[in-house]
Amino acid sequence: MAKQTKKQLEEHRKSKRLLLGCICCAIAFFLLYALISASDTGIIGEALSTIMFSSFGASSYIIPIILLWFGILYFITSSILRTRIDLALAVVSVTLSSILFSLIKNIFNLKFQDGGWLGNVLYPFFLKFFGNWGSIAIVGVLFIFFIAAFFRISLIRIIKYVIKSTIEDIKQWYEYRKAKKQDKPTIVNNRSRKEQTEEEPFEQTEKPRIIDSRQNNKKDDEDDFVQEQMKAAKVQEQKKIIVQEEEKEDVQDEQVQESEPIAEPKPIVQQEKIDTKTFSYTLPPVNLLREGSLNTQINESELQERAEALREALKSFKIDAVVQDIIPGPVITRYDIVLAPGVKMQSVMNIMDDISLAMKTAAIRIEPVPEKSAVGIEIPNPKASLVSLRDIIDTKEFNDSKSLLTLAVGTKTDGSGYISNLAKMPHLLIAGSTGSGKSVGVHNIILSILYKARPDEVKFILIDPKRVEMTAYKDIPHLYNPCCIAEDADVITRPNEASDALKKLVKVMEGRYEKYASNMVRNIEDYNTKMAAEGGDKDYYIIVIIDELADLMMVASKEIEDSIQRLAQMARAVGIHLILATQRPTVNVITGTIKANFPARLSFQTVSAVDSKVILDSIGAESLIGKGDMLFLPPSEPRPVRLQGAFVSSKEIEQVVKFIADQDFPKFYEPPVTEVSQAAAATAADKAEKDLIPALKLILERRRISQDLLKAQFGGSARASNILSVLEVRGFIHKPEGTNRWEINYNLVEDYLRINDN
C-alpha cells in the first residue's frame, strides 16, 4: 500500500506540474499578443495592455518571457523548482528593467517607451546618489545579474571562457607576428598549433552514454504459468494415486495382523535398493520465488548530474577526465572515465576517499576497464533496488545451461545476471564478515542446484555447526551422509560427525576411482554416459557445503584439514565438489593447503584489507558496502568481478522445500563405502614388499632416506609413500619428536638383507 501511495503521489505531482506549465504558457502567449496587437484581443487584452504599459513601460515585454520560462520549468520534470526564489528574481528583474528604460530615456532624451510608472518613480533615487553614468552602470549590472540568476545562466563560466579565448587569440596573434618577422611562417604555424593543442583543456564535449544492459531475456510469463499449472496438476494426481495405494496396503496389513500373532521386528541392516528412475520428479517452479526490481526505469537526468559531479570532483583535484559511459545497476553504478594524456591512474586511486566524500557515499571502488582504455569508478546508488533469485533463475541463460551444477551467483554491476558452473571451478571458497550476506549467498547456491537437478542426480552433505542456517533443508531427498543410510541422512551439526562424514567421503572417492578404473573411464561424465548406453546406474554428484569452517577448525583442525585437502585435490573427477564458507578468513582457518586447491573465491565485505588479501590475494573486499555486495574471483581470471547477490527470504526457502518434499521422492543411495577393496589393498602390499629389498640396498648405498630419493629411484610419489610407510612400520626408519629427518637403523637393515637377499 505504501508503494502504491508513493506512485500515486508522484503521478499527482507530475500532472499538477503539467497543468501549471500549460497555464503559464497560455498566459504568456496571450499577454505577448495583447502587447503587440491589443485591438485584436478584445476588451480584456486592451485593458491588460494599457495597465502593463502604464505601470512597467517597455519592461512589459519581459513579463511574458518570464511566464514562458516558468512554464518550461514546470514541463521539465527533472528540473528543481524554486518557486519563491524565482518569483522574487522575476519581480526584481522587471523593476530594474523599468528603472533602466526610464534612466536611458531621461538622460539621453530619446523618443521611445520609458519604464512606466514604476521606472519614473524609482529612477530619480539612483540619479541623486550615483549620477547619470553611474546609475546606468549599476542598474545595468544588477539587471544582468538577476536575470542570469533567474534563467540559471552561469556568468562566471561565460566570463572565464571569454577571457581564456581572448588570451589564446592574443597569444596566437603574437606568435604569428613573431614568426612573420623571422620569415618562418610554416614552422611557427606548426609550433603554434601544437602549443594550442597542448593548452586546450580536456573538457566534456558530449554527454556520457548510458548503457542499460539489464536483462530483458525472461521467458514468456503466460507459457511459464501454463506449464507450472500442468506440472502441479500432474504432481497432485500422482500423490492421490500413491495415497490410495497406501490406504489399500494399510487395510491388507491390518487384516493380516488380526489373523497372525505379532512378531518382533527385525533390525534393518541395509536399505533395500530402489530404482529411482521410475519415479517422476518435477523441478520447482519459479513462481515460488518473489520478483525483484531489476527492470525498474532508470533516472537518466540524475545519472547525468552525478556524472557531472564526479567530473567536477576530479577537476577540483587537478585531474582532467571525461565521463565516457554510465553503466547503471541495481545497487552500484559504474562511471567509465577517460583520463587526459599524461594523467596516471594512481593519481585517481590516491584520492579515493576524497571522491567518496564528494559523491556523498560511504565507499567507492576504482578498477581499470581494459577493453575501453578507461577507469571504472563504482559508486553506490542513493537508493538500491532489490535483486531477487527469481530475476536470475528465470532467464534464458540459466535455463539453457545444461550443467546440473549451474549457480546463480548474482548480478553484475550493469544489472545482468551472472551464471557460473561449479563443475568447472571445481571447488568454491566463500568468506565475509557478519551481516555481509554470506549465509544468503549459500542459500542461493543450494536453491540454484535444486532448480536444476533431481534428487538422484545431485546429493548434498550440509554441515551447519551453527545449527540454524541449513535446518530448513532437512526434509529434501537430496541429503546425503556416507555414515548412515538415506533414511537417516540429515543436516550435520556436530564437529565430530562432520569429521567422520568427511573421512567416509574420502573412502567414497577412492571407491569411485576404483570403479572408474575398472570401467576404463576418466571422470563422472564419461561414466554416466557409458552407463546410459549400457542401462546401468549412474553416479550422482555430491556437493559438500560447510557453512562455518572456522568452528570446525577450532574443534578438529587436523582431521578436517586432511580430509578437505584430499577431497580438494582428487574429488573433482568423481563428481565431489566442496563449498567452504567462513566469517573469519584468517590464515588459521583458510590455510595455505586449503587455498591452493580452491582457485574460485567469493568474498563478501570483510573487516579489514588483511582479510581481503587472505581470501582474494588482493585488497578490495573491505571497500564493499555489504548486504550481498561481493567480489567473485573465477578460476584462471586475473581480477575479481563485482557482483550483487540476490536476496532470498526464509519463506521462499520453505516454499521450495515444501514443494520438493510433497512429491514424496524416495530417499535412497547405495550403502556407504566402509573400506577399500581387499584385493586392491593386497596388491599394494605385495608391491611394497617387492620394493622393500631394493629400497634397503639404496639406504645402505646413499646412507640416507627421503621421499624424493625413493621417487627418483622407483618413480611415482604414491609408490614412494607406500615404501616409506612399510619401512617405518617394519622399524627400519623412524622420526624422533621435534625433528623432520628420518633416522635409520642400519643394524636392522643389514640383518634383514643378510637373511632375505639371496
Q: Give 163-203 pLDDT, tens digit per residue.
A: 888 888 888 888 777 776 664 433 334 434 444 444 455 67
Write the pLDDT tens digit of every residue in 557-613.
778 888 898 999 889 999 999 999 998 888 888 887 788 889 899 999 998 889 899
Whether 503 has a pLDDT exceeding 80, the answer reads: yes
Q: Are 553 and 419 in contact (CB under 8 A)?
A: no
- Residue 31: C-alpha distances to residues 47, 52, 60, 147 (Å): 11, 10, 9, 20
More confident residue, 409 or 104: 409
User: If you count them, how many residues does the chain have?
Assistant: 758
DSSP annotation string for 158-211: HHHHHHHHHHHHHHHHHHHHHHHHTT-HHHHHHHHHHHHHHHS-----SPPEE-
- List Cα–Cα distances, 419 to 400, 444, 449, 451, 544, in angstroms: 11, 12, 12, 13, 20
Residues 544, 461: contact at Cβ < 8 Å?
Answer: yes
DSSP 285: P
Calpha distance 217→294 (Å, rounded): 12
All cell numbers assigned to 459: 546429493
Q: What is the DSSP string of 546-560?
A: ES-HHHHHHHHHHHH
> What's the pLDDT at 408?
92
Which residue type is seen at 282?
Answer: T
Task: Tell me how far apart the alpha carbons of residues 609 and 643 are, in angstroms, rounded to a whole number.
Answer: 19
Q: What is the pLDDT averaged over residues 654-673?
A: 83
662-683: string of b/e by CB count within 10 Å (b at 16+)? ebebebbbeebbeeeeeeeeee
Does the pLDDT at position 78 exceed 70? no
Cell digits for 683? 596388491
Query: Over the chain, what is the mean pLDDT?
Result: 80
The verdict on pTM exceeding 0.85 is: no
For 678-756, CATH gives 1.10.10
Q: Sort strands 541-546 and 576-582 into parallel, antiparallel or unpaired.
A: parallel
C-alpha–C-alpha distance, residues 385 and 670, integer Å = 46
Cell numbers standing for residue 295? 527492470
Residue-wise pLDDT for 56-69, tens only, equals 888 888 888 888 88
Measure the CA–CA gap between 110 and 102, rounded to whole angstroms: 10
Compute the distance between CA of residue 61 and CA of residue 86 in angstroms, rounded to an integer. Answer: 18
Tens of pLDDT, residue by residue over 612-654, are: 998 988 888 888 888 899 999 998 788 899 999 999 999 999 9
Backbone angles phi, psi at 260, to 5 degrees: -115, 150
Predicted confidence (pLDDT) per residue in 211-266, tens digit: 765 544 444 444 444 355 445 545 545 554 554 555 555 544 444 344 334 333 33
- Residue that the C-alpha cell 500515486 belongs to: 8
Q: How far is CA 194 from the centre of its chain?
A: 45
**DSSP reduced 3-state for 519:** coil
| Model confidence pLDDT, tens digit, residues 352-410 | 889 999 888 888 888 888 778 899 999 998 888 888 999 899 888 898 889 999 999 99
Q: What is the DSSP letter of 590?
A: S
Contacts with 115 (C-beta within 8 Å, 6 or more apart), sequence order: 56, 57, 58, 59, 97, 98, 99, 100, 101, 102, 103, 105, 123
Residue type, 633: L
- Residue 502 CA to residue 723 CA, distance in Å, equals 26
C-alpha cell at 241: 494415486
Higher pLDDT, 733 or 689: 733
- Per CATH, the number for 389-661 is 3.40.50.300
Quote the CA–CA distance of 287 and 228 in Å, as a whole number: 8
Burial class (CB in 10 A: 0-12, 13-18, 19+), 684: middle
First to last CA, the chain: 95
DSSP secondary structure letters along 506-517: HHHHHHHHHHHH
